[in-house]
Amino acid sequence: MPGVAILAADGFETIECLTVVDVLRRGGVHAALVSVMDTRDVVTSQQIPVTCDVTLDEVDFSNYDYLVLPGGMPGATNLRADERVCDLVREFAATRHVAAICAAPFILAELGVLEGHRATCFPGFEASFPEGCHAGERTVVVDGNIITASGMGQALPFALAILEDIAGEVAVEKVKDGIQL
């Protein structure tokens, strides 16, 4: 089964990040929480300390088919500022899958990977989107190998969309039943 690398930088939105990890692991998907900081320890935008599974330098990305970018500020800008992250986003968008939520889709737009795709983001972050790309607010958009979501309120549907793309509807239904959704 494909692996998923969820990137975490200081200032990420707690629910957007950890919901993806939780749902994917419940669905039987190998999901690694990857710190882009110097250590495995990161701090959310709500000042919650989180210890990641690995650091970016410890990961062999050939073992992963999905790259997930949580939003939150300044987490999304911290991801964008890391050239290693930008290189990974370009590579995964060209050859595998990328998912981004809330503010993080602006990274995809600035790196040129939303060209020809429909996407969403937290209101105000669509300024860098290509013309005609923005698909609206309060939603999850699956377009080819790119999945985007508009904000924290869409974290669970976003995680389930990633799970469905990787493991199918049976896995999604199993998780939904297990969490009483």
Q: Which of 70, 71, 66 minimizes the C-alpha distance to 29?
A: 66
Whole-model pTM: value is 0.96
Instruction: Tell me the per-residue pLDDT of 126-175, one tens digit each, with 9 for 90 and over.
Output: 999 999 999 888 899 999 999 999 999 999 999 999 999 999 999 999 99
102 noted as active-site residue: yes
Pull the structure tokens for residue 158. Answer: 């976003």
Which residue among 17, 52, 86, 102 is the active-site one?
102
* CA–CA distance, 147 with 165 (Å, rounded to integer): 9
Instruction: Tell me the per-residue pLDDT of 73-105, one tens digit each, with 9 for 90 and over.
Output: 999 999 999 999 999 999 999 999 999 999 999
Are the C-beta atoms of residues 128 and 109 closer than 8 Å to each other? yes
Are the C-beta atoms of residues 164 and 172 closer than 8 Å to each other? yes
Instruction: Tell me the per-residue pLDDT of 32-65, one tens digit each, with 9 for 90 and over.
Output: 999 999 999 999 999 999 999 999 999 999 999 9
* CA–CA distance, 137 with 85 (Å, rounded to integer): 26
* Residue 85 confidence (pLDDT): 98
Are the C-beta atoms of residues 70 and 34 closer than 8 Å to each other? no
Residue 2 has pLDDT above 90, yes or no: no
Q: For residue 18, how many other CB atoms are within 10 A of its CB?
A: 20
Residue 1 has pLDDT above 70, yes or no: no
* Residue 137 confidence (pLDDT): 87
Burial class (CB in 10 A: 0-12, 13-18, 19+), 62: exposed
User: What integer is the mean pLDDT of 104-117?
Assistant: 97
Three-class DSSP labels, the chain: CCEEEEEECCCCCHHHHHHHHHHHHHCCCEEEEEECCCCCEEECCCCCEEECCEEHHHCCHHHCCEEEECCCCCHHHHHHCCHHHHHHHHHHHHHCEEEEECCCHHHHHHCCCCCCCCECCCCCCHHHCCCCCECCCCCEEEECCEEEECCHHHHHHHHHHHHHHHHCHHHHHHHHHHCCC
